[in-house]
A and B are shown apart, each in its own frame.
Chain A
Amino acid sequence: MTLWFVFALMTVAAIFAVLWPLSRRGRADAGGSEVVVYRDQLAEIDRDMAAGIIGAAEADAARVEISRRLLAAADQSGRDVPVTGSITLRRAAAVVALVGLPVIASSFYLALGSPRLGDFPLAERSRVADANQPLTNLVAQVEAHLEKNPTDGRGWTVLAPVLSRLGRYDDAVRAYRNAITYAGDSADRRADLGEALMGSAGGVVTADAKAEFERAVALNGDDAKANYFLGLAAEQDGRKADAAALWQKMLAKGPSDAPWRPLVQAALVRVGGTVPAGVSAPGGASAPALPDSAMAAAKDMSEADRSTMIKGMVDRLATRLKTNGDDVEGWLRLVRAYLVMGERDKAMSALADARQAVANDADRLRQLNEGLKNLGLDG
């Protein structure tokens, strides 16, 4: 209620500013006139001459000039007889102020403002934790703590997976990197870092992400997450046989009750590999169509949001390549992305564009063709 009261007071003040001059009798000549300026100038010349700044001859010449102007101005102002205003016009202006001003102000404010929202200064809010967003608050507190103690490896280790789950992949990448620096290297952390990198690339296993998975596998050959994603990388590159081989090896070596089994089996079926003997076929096609746990992590997103996000990223890449066609890696990534999204036509047209863009550069053309071969497209 106080808010509306304040608004009302402000409106009244504004209306008063318009009405006040209207209520006063307009004085006939409130402003200065040209004649005054010329009189002041004549006085100035006398002062300048007394101070010795100008000589007598110059002063005389100036006086002649100004007097001539003064006469003309006096002539003019004699004809400008001030008119007293009409009451009708003033009334109209008063009505505009009384009605128009509140109408304009309220129509703009009601369309744009949020009168129901109070203030939320930080000092008050940190005393009373916001029950609606416990996780976000917690994250912010940990982040503030880490801002001051950046070498706290345990803090980064705790924060990183939460950021990843919140979909803040870029921050998660940085958190995982810091965790590795300050809390030590491990296969798990490398694999998680790779997954976060994938997340920030919209589900595509980028060269960076792949490098992290490879490091994880070097640290621990049996790391399930890293192996699975290396297989996915192979699939996205179009090397389906390699992917199948990797996943078959995982299923053969892994424990029979591993939670990732159904996912890997479904992936294997997708690339056309056979599930190794002695392993039961997946019960029902429960695995996601896009086998992408980074995407699955962003489970708050609706299906539509998710595909919009990926589409957006791919479109941006396509636009960039349109202006700068030299980036062979970029072209390959684009073609691969279209293939993953199941848009083979677009992949083919992107391929044609890529060829055209690098046609003049033998080196790049060779590189492109090799990449395409790896994707399983003709060279």
Chain B
Amino acid sequence: MIAESGHYALVLALALALIQSIVPIVGARWRDAALMNVARSTALAQLLFVAASFAALVTLHVTSDFSVANVFENSHSLKPLLYKITGVWGNHEGSMLLWVSILALFGGLVAAFGNNLPLSLRAHVLAVQAWVATAFYLFILITSNPFLRIANPPIEGRDLNPVLQDIGLAVHPPMLYLGYVGFSISFSFAVAALLEGRIDAAWARWVRPWTLMAWIFLTLGIAMGSYWAYYELGWGGWWFWDPVENASLMPWLAGTALLHSALVMEKRNALKVWTVLLSILTFSLSLLGTFLVRSGVLTSVHAFATDPTRGVFILLILFVFIGGSLSLYAWRAPALKQGGLFAPISREGALVLNNLLLTTACATVFIGTLYPLALEVLTGEKISVGAPFFNFTFAPLFVPLLLAVPFGPLLAWKRGDLLGAAQRLMVAGIVALVAIALVFAWTYGGATLAPLAIGLAAFVIMGALCDLAERIALFRIPLSLSLRRARGLPRATWGTAFAHAGLGIALIGIVCETTWNSEYIGSMKPDDIARVAGYELRLDGLSPRQGPNFREMVAQFTVSRDGEKVSVMTPSKRNFTTRGASTTEAALLTRGASQLYISLGDTTADGAIAVRIYHKPLVLMIWWGPVLMAFGGLLSLSDRRLRVGAPKPAKAAARALQAAE
């Protein structure tokens, strides 16, 4: 009964979504308040039914009901409870159900908290949200139904892919989906604005926080995924420029641009049309990511199954929504009212530069990801676009972006003073130069670009601090006054500083890890000693161990430095009998921000075991950076004040202003 009720709840959600896609639009057309309000109650009811459906699937997984094909294929009665639950979205059908659940959640949130939105705008937004939902409900029910049954249920399931049996699965996909799907809100707002033919102030006031929320989740989701790949796959790599990773990076880049342009729009009423376009592009890239991952175009750990009908269906959804929204944009955007004016050198101008660089970076990733696919489809030729391409195109775009980051917050709205900003960044520049000199002297004869990159990172971090110091007039007024001013600063300002500093911190981690990474790869017998980066690692021995649904071979290493014992590390190799697969569980030892990393290979006939030992200096900063960015975002989100950007008043001789778009 649970299975069938869950199935029926999903079908009802589809029916409600269909009504929600049509009735409110009709209501808005005839200006009927009651019809427009249908959007609200149907969105809430839809959320209720999808949540029930999702809860049903979770229950089925937890109780190991193998009469449900999805449970049989992806679960096992001996799996620990946590993985029984996370296994719900560790497969194609379940993860699509999670996708629509989150979509319904966002729809429900707009319905519940959208009281201060104009009625027709809310009706349009929820209707567009329902269009997306309808498409995905149909996709799930027709091509990837998680509630299909087996008449003669087998007694045991096939187990979940062992690589996915990790705490990472509990965090990474829900975070990522909250990010991907969160951008559907700004998409719905954009399409609603185009349908209505006007963008009002309430529009901007709403889009920024929703975009920010999606962006926070996406940032954390990507960082979490990267860390998971780092410790689970056993290669010590944290970013592979794999198409699936790029699929999540593209919405992030576009979303970051959107975040900044939405800010300009809310504060200054400018960049309206551009914000609408970015909203459409960001969600389109999220959909593209879904297509790349879910259609089986790419074979990787993310593509749980390959099925041509699914691919064609998602491609169809992609065409309808991206093509439809872009055509609508081309048709209706010229009718939208143009925004405010500003000088090229101003806070707005800096944000436009940020947008240009981010979207260009996004475009290069787009080309690098899709060109090989397109080429294979058209000519059958297989090429691989790897790290070198991205390093040569992505890095040169990010260097000017990072150089410009500290300048942005220091420029005034409407018309800024570049020289003045540069003067205030003098300290940051000096610190950066000193950092370059120090690193260069310390690693004399080593890499030449690395010290420069470290200097750039120092500049970004110090720039963020300079902005704060400037605002609280540090050292210019008594310290107690400065502290009081610091407390009075809007949380959004603190958020900006944290997020920008996070960029610099991540950059330091990336540069250190890639430049000064040291490794030992070889085979070791018990009592052998390996020396890596000043540490001595002694292999004490190997011992077998029985887990709940796997066997593992655990190696014990004693780590010492200068003769003193530091710690014990126990990497292992796990064998999962049901799937006949094995995974490598790397052992990590954290020392400050650096890590020692051991992963095991195969045992040889003479009792030796292949080991890979890495010392990764400051590697954790790679993930601290994004976490700091997300924290900054959270601070900004918690700031419930209205955003008003006070312009710098014009001097006697007004400079020529330029149109925003």
Contacts and interface: CB of A to CB of B under 8 A. Distances in A.
Contacts of B151: 114, 117
Interface stretch (A33-41, A201-209, A241-249, A302-310): A33-41
Contacts of B485: 52
| Residue among B2, B18, B41 with most chain A CB within 10 A | B41
Contacts of A123: 63-64
Given A104-B15, A136-B155, A34 B201 contact: yes
Given A31-B119, A57-B649, A90 B32 contact: yes
Contacts of B116: 31-32, 36
Q: Which residue, of A17, A59, A104, A109, has the highest number of chain B Cβ atoms within 10 A? A: A17
B646 A45 contact: yes
B383 interface: no
B284 interface: no
Interface stretch (B3-11, B256-264, B345-353, B495-503): B3-11
B107 to A, nearest CB: 13
A180 interface: no
A277 interface: no
Contact of A45 (B18, B32, B644): B644
A271 interface: no
Given A120-B65, A140-B155, A53 B488 contact: yes
A25 B340 CA distance: 39
A5 B103 CA distance: 29
A296 interface: no
A237 to B, nearest CB: 29
A346 interface: no
Contact of A140 (B37, B65, B156, B644): B156
Contact of B42 (A18, A31, A59, A118): A18
Nearest to B577: A147
Nearest to B650: A61
A85 B31 contact: yes
Contact of B642 (A40, A115, A148, A174): A40
Contacts of A62: 644-647
B41 A3 contact: no
Given A57-B649, A117-B151, A109 B11 contact: yes
B5 A73 contact: no
Nearest to B116: A32
A14 B44 CA distance: 10
A7 interface: yes
Interface string B482-518: 0001001110000000000000000000000000000
Given A3-B4, A93-B23, A132 B35 contact: no
Given A33-B202, A60-B649, A115-B4, A90 B35 contact: yes
Interface string A277-293: 00000000000000000
Given A14-B12, A121-B65, A61 B647 contact: yes
Contacts of B650: 61
Nearest to A11: B12
A109 B145 CA distance: 12
Interface in B312-368: 340
A275 B553 CA distance: 54
Contacts of B205: 37
B298 to A, nearest CB: 17
B172 interface: no
A379 interface: no
B563 interface: no
Contacts of A45: 644, 646
A171 B155 CA distance: 16
A73 B156 CA distance: 65
Nearest to B200: A34
Contacts of A352: none
Interface string A50-86: 0111100111111001100100010000000011111
B37 A13 contact: no
Interface string A175-196: 0000000000000000000000
Interface stretch (A95-103, A222-230, A337-345): A95-103
Contacts of A360: none
A122 B64 contact: yes
B30 interface: yes
Interface in B49-103: 49, 60, 63-67, 77-78
B1 A93 contact: no
A51 B491 CA distance: 14
Contact of A86 (B30, B153, B200): B30
A133 B152 contact: yes
A150 B577 contact: yes
Contacts of A171: 580
A96 B19 contact: yes
A31 B115 contact: yes
B27 interface: yes
Contacts of B580: 170-171, 174
A356 to B, nearest CB: 17
B1 A2 contact: yes
B578 A28 contact: no
Interface string A12-50: 011001101110111111111110111011001101100
A66 B646 CA distance: 10
A22 B34 contact: yes
A24 B34 contact: yes
Contacts of B48: 13
A23 to B, nearest CB: 8
A109 B546 CA distance: 44
Given A14-B15, A97-B19, A31 B41 contact: no
B525 interface: no
A54 B646 contact: yes
10 contacts: A3-B5, A10-B49, A14-B15, A28-B33, A66-B644, A90-B34, A117-B4, A119-B2, A120-B67, A147-B577
The 3 closest A-B pairs by CB, nearest first: A26-B33, A85-B32, A17-B45
Interface of B: 1-5, 7-9, 11-12, 14-16, 18-19, 23, 26-27, 30-38, 40-42, 44-45, 48-49, 60, 63-67, 77-78, 114-122, 141, 145, 147-149, 151-156, 200-202, 205, 269, 340, 485, 488-490, 546, 549, 551, 577-578, 580, 641-642, 644-650
Interface of A: 2-3, 6-7, 10-11, 13-14, 17-18, 20-22, 24-34, 36-38, 40-41, 44-45, 47-48, 51-54, 57-62, 65-66, 69, 73, 82-86, 89-90, 93, 96-97, 100-101, 104-105, 108-109, 112-115, 117-123, 125-126, 130, 132-133, 136-137, 140-141, 143-144, 146-148, 150, 170-171, 174
Given A100-B15, A113-B8, 14 more contacts: A21-B34, A21-B38, A22-B34, A30-B119, A31-B119, A37-B202, A51-B488, A73-B201, A82-B33, A89-B30, A101-B12, A121-B63, A133-B154, A150-B551
